[in-house]
Structure 1
């Protein structure tokens, strides 16, 4: 990770979001968010460092309810709030030193990769957007990942999710489940590549503060989230990077999203959901840097 970074804070709704600011030199800024249930350090550090070394300003934030950002209760994903947090970061970024408001890009992976499509559709002023192994179609993901769940744990997850949802209406604290686990456990993700998350994002327990849990109600809405449908409304260049053996978000919806975006670009690479953080990191980082340079700081 880069030592040349500082903590910054900005308001979103009724809470404060905390982000890392990496000062850049080329006038362009990449606003980054981590995947579902992931905090900014494990979820953005490897790519933020590469972008920063290439001269880009980076703003990498924690969503409300996670990491260092405010918001109660904790470990709860609220899509509308996450979109609002990222929007607040987009509005905040031009106030940073040496940032050209005409050279803003967004970057997200997994769930946030899906968010990136929706945010790009809402923000025609963005210069570019990157969605890495995005959750473009929750319905496809929910149906296909069921093959990696055993019946009894799946029923227990559903029951815990319903209790958590009812408890939230009564003001109770969230019932939590692990982000990932084996097919015979009660966990949010049980796919083979989904279980690579800790190895990919937290090697050697580099980020011990990362709480790898999520509110049990999350799977109840997951299958209804289909952000890829916003692709035709995205006016800026949109890079979709998919991994062909992705068994968590799946490549097909991402490919279709890239093809439906007016200025969509597609990069395909082998591997599972977290391959861009593993052996495929160099390939993914180079592809994304090439895209950012072409659309934010083109050479004359």
Structure 2
């Protein structure tokens, strides 16, 4: 059974409390922001990014608008349990989403029929797959999602040097073999300059620390990931699942994004039965930076329409009828 364990001293300014819920053989850590309107937004960070730098900026504003929020760390990331650290199999991350949704549905102030998912980058692809195959959710927001496909692979390859790409592949292969022998993970940086061995070397990936942690308040964020996990993502294509998403789906893309190129996400949105596509200027992290207010307005409008049933979104509003 999923359970909550508020941590001593973990309540912050009356807005949120730290809770934990079971996933697999361990527990995920999460921030719970109790809301007032009966609806809940479940959130997680991009690949290997803890919940605080990844979700704080949006979670606070959703909560200010009356929504409950459950923002969680994947197993092996942040304050969640799980060993080895920073080894992030997609299958387990999808299971963490399902566990988080079940936990959110049991929160005392939440209507289980009014739960939305929010994620960006690689996790923006995860929420599409979760909605396509798993529990019914009322709405899904995929912000600058990496939905896979040849365009994403070509973009990544086009901003890396051949020798570094070979070294990265070798490190990922060695890490995968080492895992079979019980060795510690071989880590690579999440971001780097072309020519370095890193998960991504696209022009906008370096904006991450400035967008997610501009004040350096999260020194515990290890901006690394196991090489085996990064290598496997080359073959991950959640965009193919959009035709099976029966919930309203908001896909927000940025036209100059080179980390998650907009083309595949636009195509994926067009295949979804109930998708809304919003295109904005800027690079991958623009919704956290210069386009933040615009992105927030779009997302709050979407949440109010599909979780509260009207544009105003005040407390006590009725849920929208099912699609």
* TM-score range for the pair, normalised by the shorter chain length: over 0.9
Matched, 1:28 2:39: yes
- TM-score in terms of structure 2 length: 0.90
Q: Which digits, 9 at most, give the CA deviation of each residue in 1:72-117, with x for residues without a partner?
A: 1001111000000010010111221210011010011001100011
Matched, 1:272 2:283: yes
Show structure 1 runs of 5+ residues with no match: none
Are the equivalent residues in 2 in contact too, given 1:23–1:97 (CA < 8 A)? no
Shift of 1:220: 2.4
Q: Which digits, 9 at most, give the CA deviation of each residue in 1:251-270, with x for residues without a partner?
A: 01111111111000001000
Where does residue 203 of structure 1 map in the other structure?
A: 214
Matched, 1:172 2:172: no
Are the equivalent residues in 2 in contact too, given 1:142–1:222 (CA < 8 A)? no
Matched, 1:185 2:196: yes
2:108 is matched with which residue: 91, 97, 104?
97
1:119 is matched with which residue: 98, 122, 130?
130
Where does residue 47 of structure 1 map in the other structure?
A: 58
Where does residue 263 of structure 1 map in the other structure?
A: 274
Are the equivalent residues in 2 in contact too, given 1:120–1:129 (CA < 8 A)? yes
Cα RMSD (Å) of the superposition?
1.2
Shift of 1:172: 0.6
Q: Which digits, 9 at most, give the CA deviation of each residue in 1:227-255, with x for residues without a partner?
A: 01111111110000000111011101111
**Which moves more between the two structures, 147-156 or 190-199?**
147-156
Runs (4 or more) in structure 1 with deviation over 4 Å come to none
Q: What SS does the corresponding residue of 1:183 show, helix, strand or coil? A: coil
Where does residue 313 of structure 2 map in the other structure?
A: none
- TM-score in terms of structure 1 length: 0.97
Where does residue 248 of structure 2 map in the other structure?
A: 237
Are the equivalent residues in 2 in contact too, given 1:139–1:226 (CA < 8 A)? no
Shift of 1:64: 0.2
Taking the aligned partners of 1:296 and 1:89, their CA distance within structure 2 comes to 18
Show structure 2 runs of 5+ residues with no match: 1-11, 311-316, 318-323
Taking the aligned partners of 2:284 and 2:157, their CA distance within structure 1 comes to 16
1:135 is matched with which residue: 146, 161, 164?
146
Are the equivalent residues in 2 in contact too, given 1:8–1:19 (CA < 8 A)? yes
Taking the aligned partners of 1:138 and 1:188, their CA distance within structure 2 comes to 17
